[in-house]
Amino acid sequence: MNTDVNNNKVLPSKSWREAFSVYQKPRVIGMIFLGFAAGLPFLLVFSTLSAWLRDEGVARTTIGFFSWVGITYSIKVFWAPIVDRLPIPWLTRKLGKRRSWMLCAQIVIAAGLLGMASSDPETQLTLIAIYAVIVAFGSATQDITIDAYRIEAVDDEYQGAMAATYVFGYRLALLVAGAGAFYIAEGQSWSYAYIAMATLMLIGMVATLVISEPIHQINKIAEKVEQKLESTLGLGKDGNYAKRTGRWFVDAVVSPFVEFFERNGRMAVVILLLIATYKLSDITMGVMANPFYLDLGFSKTEIANVAKIFGFFMTIFGAALGGIFVTRYGVEKPLIFGSVMIIVTNLLFVWLARTEPNISTLAVVISADNLSGGFATSAFIAYLSSMTNKAYSATQYALFSSLMTLPAKFIGGFSGIVVDAAGYAYFFLYAGLLGIPALLLIIYILYHDDSS
């Protein structure tokens, strides 16, 4: 299951000392800063922006419409082929394919945040919405390039560690863009807070300039796929502008999907089903977590303290542990273990719903949930990375990441109905059972790999 682009198994045999030392690698450390740059804009076009608008007296209905900005993150697969193939004049020659797009995206994000900071919600609400879309577009584009860089920069066995340091930087940025922005707005103003956030994007820009561009090797398998498609569609090497455009479209947009299905054969559908179901239980449960804590009688302060302190550090610890396990054992065992952990932690929520609530049990459950979530995320990102062909890393990973969240978000929308009909205990049992299909799919893929 942990394969390279030629579909050969990668079975790393690392000692515990070697597994822990992975966090000393410069590129692994560098992902902290890239993760920070990726996480910073996210809340600034979501919950932090909602708080700003509400603080300025904007109607809740209008604020609700602003959530549509998030659609940008879900459709990034549509322009990922451009990021994969189209060079940026002059800049790509200087920085390389990945770093040039990364830097441009970061500049767009900073410019959009400065535009939001200079706009008045009372008289320029439409302008704020336009700037928010610009920030989200830049942020989604940055996500595409950072994911592609991460996949291409190191071997599959180190992808778990890269994911762990990325999660650390990302989570740190969420604290800054969330609580940090609130503190600045309270002491100064919301405009000042957004200016400060735009300035912090310099961290990502400096990191982009410091890191080295991954080596882009010619991929024979990708070349054969492209040549076969061009020949089948009658798009020879010579031709007019229409044929040249057709060749570019086939190579950049069609070939990544054809290559994935050719490389994996009949198992391609099974792999896509696994991607669509692996986070199903985790995301579905998360929709009702905060309402559940409040309905148990915990105060907002108690929830915030436990979630911020225990949640943050246990997520980071879980992600780091996942990275170590991937380096030590490969992807398969951590992937199964992460899936089981997610199911078990949902059962802990069933226990919490059935017992007398106290702050200690809340801390235990939240800690276990965040530990399992961090571990599973590192293992799963490593798996997704191993499923991409490095010739199409941006496009294929964008497809995977969209498929990973969309079904879960859709099913999560029915969470309130289940809670109202059956109560929290049965809801968390239901959420836990949603993790079983992914576990069975992993076992099936492992059995198929062992027998082939």
Q: Tell me: the pLDDT tens digits for 41-52?
A: 998 998 788 888
* pLDDT per position as a tens digit, 328-353: 888 888 999 999 999 998 889 999 98
- Note whether 278 and 423 are same-domain residues: yes
- Note whether 235 and 359 are same-domain residues: no
Label residue 355 left, alpha or beta by phi (over 0 means left) and psi (-120 to 50 means alpha).
Answer: beta
* pLDDT per position as a tens digit, 348-365: 999 998 888 888 888 888
In a domain, residue 410? The reply is yes
In a domain, residue 215? The reply is no
Half-sphere exposure of 271 (CA within 13 A, CB side): 24
- Note whether 248 and 282 are same-domain residues: no
In a domain, residue 323? The reply is yes
Give the N- to C-terminal CA distance of the chain in Å, as an integer.
Answer: 11
Count CB-CB contacts under 10 A for residue 297: 8
In a domain, residue 9? The reply is no
- Note whether 246 and 270 are same-domain residues: no
Checking if the pLDDT of 256 tops 60, the result is yes
Count CB-CB contacts under 10 A for residue 331: 28
Distance, in Å, from the CA atom of 5 to the CA atom of 263, rounded to the nearest integer, reads: 8
pLDDT confidence band for 375 (50 / 70 / 90):
very high
- Contact criterion met (CB below 8 Å) for 81 and 251: no
In a domain, residue 4? The reply is no
- Note whether 60 and 110 are same-domain residues: yes
- Note whether 300 and 416 are same-domain residues: yes
What average pLDDT does range 50-75 have in this prediction? 81
Domain span including residue 95: 16-210
Checking if the pLDDT of 6 tops 60, the result is no
What average pLDDT does range 272-278 have in this prediction? 91
- Note whether 33 and 98 are same-domain residues: yes
- Note whether 182 and 305 are same-domain residues: no
Average per-residue pLDDT for the chain: 86
Q: What is the CATH number of the domain that holds 27?
A: 1.20.1250.20
- Note whether 375 and 426 are same-domain residues: yes
Residue of 18 and 69 predicted with greater confidence: 69
Question: How many domains is the chain built from?
Answer: 3
In a domain, residue 3? The reply is no
pTM: 0.82
- Note whether 112 and 178 are same-domain residues: yes
Checking if the pLDDT of 310 tops 90, the result is no
User: Sign of dihedral through CA atoms 311, 315, 318, 324?
Assistant: negative
In a domain, residue 343? The reply is yes
- Note whether 248 and 316 are same-domain residues: no
In a domain, residue 10? The reply is no
Q: Which of 40, 52, 56, 438 is nearest to 276 (CA)?
A: 438
- Note whether 408 and 444 are same-domain residues: yes
